[in-house]
Amino acid sequence: MAALLAAIPYARFLGITAERKGNELTTVLPFSEHLIGNIWLPALHGGVIGAFLEITATVQLLFDTQCERLPKTIDISIDYLRSGRAAETYGRAVVTKHGRRVANVRAEIWQEERAKPIAAAHGHFLLTPV
Amino acid sequence: MTVDVDEIDAHLARIPHAAAIGMELVSRDESGCIIRVPYADHLVGDPDTGVVHGGVLTALLDNASGMAVRAGPNNETSGGMATLDLRIDYMRPAEPGKDLLAHAECYRVTANVAFVRATAYHSERNDPIATSVATFMLGTGGVPKP
């Protein structure tokens, strides 16, 4: 997964990595100045939050399916729950349904406390046949 | 309502992430606003094809939508606002090497919530790459995010 993320220029630009513990995958987004969307709070850009959720979902899907091709996002719906502070952010995703052509994935990201997510998303992804 | 484009463009440049992906304001009036993201190598999501990552579209659509709230009709909101939700539908992949444009329109503002729709495209708005709908909570305090 680390190699896959390193191969995606945009994931590298955001600084996203993934950690695997047993069969669980956590994505990590270290804080960086260029991720800020509101300099007064300061808070992470909503687009960065959305992108991190989308990448978390995609990575989990690849991890579960062992596919090599990146799935295509059909749609993603993001709920912004708390403002993203200038801190490291973590992500987890669950593939709720894995169909023949489409997968449903839910993702959540948090900072200090897992029980207090800053954003959540659910999306549909088009699977590329192996 | 007239809006000083240069002033807004300067504001956009002060949003670190907007600057990092190269967002620039194309136009803004009461009917909405248009923001451009020039194609760049660091925005690529699929190294095999050179197609820009969906996350770039998310950032572009989110930013354009927020800006459209400020430009919208009957909108005197000057306080802070926060994105409640954003749903994006991807119609087709972006084409490598081409700039991305997003047009956002705030079509309804209530006392607490603003409703915005937006479209991302290359050159023709009726040939969308992605469309989105977003809601924003108004009066959340803090300094405005135009």
SS3 track for B8-41: HHHHHHCCHHHHHCCCEEEEEECCEEEEEECCCH
A70 touches chain B (CB under 8 A): yes
B38 touches chain A (CB under 8 A): no
Residue A34, pLDDT above cutoff 80? yes
Interface contact A70-B46, CB threshold 8 A: yes
Report ipTM (2 d.p.).
0.91
Interface contact B83-A80, CB threshold 8 A: yes
Cα separation, B146 vs B137, whole angstroms: 14
A125 touches chain B (CB under 8 A): no
Interface contact A73-B90, CB threshold 8 A: yes
Q: How many A×B Cβ pairs under 8 Å?
A: 132
A32 touches chain B (CB under 8 A): no
Cβ-based burial of A68 (10 A; exposed 0-12, middle 13-18, buried ≥19): exposed
Q: What is the mean pLDDT of residues A91-118?
A: 96
Residue B46: CB atoms within 10 Å: 18
All structural domains of chain A:
2-126 (3.10.129.10)
* pLDDT tens sequence for chain B (146 residues): 445 556 666 678 889 999 999 999 999 888 899 999 999 999 999 989 999 999 999 999 999 999 999 876 655 556 678 899 999 999 999 999 999 999 999 999 998 999 999 999 999 999 999 999 999 999 876 554 44
All structural domains of chain B:
5-138 (3.10.129.10)
Q: Which of A70, A73, A83 sits opposite B82 (nearest CB)?
A: A83
Q: Measure the CA angle with vertex B30, ends A47 and B17; round to 5°.
A: 20
Interface contact B15-A54, CB threshold 8 A: no
Q: Which of B17, B45, B84 sits opposite A48 (nearest CB)?
A: B17
B1 touches chain A (CB under 8 A): no
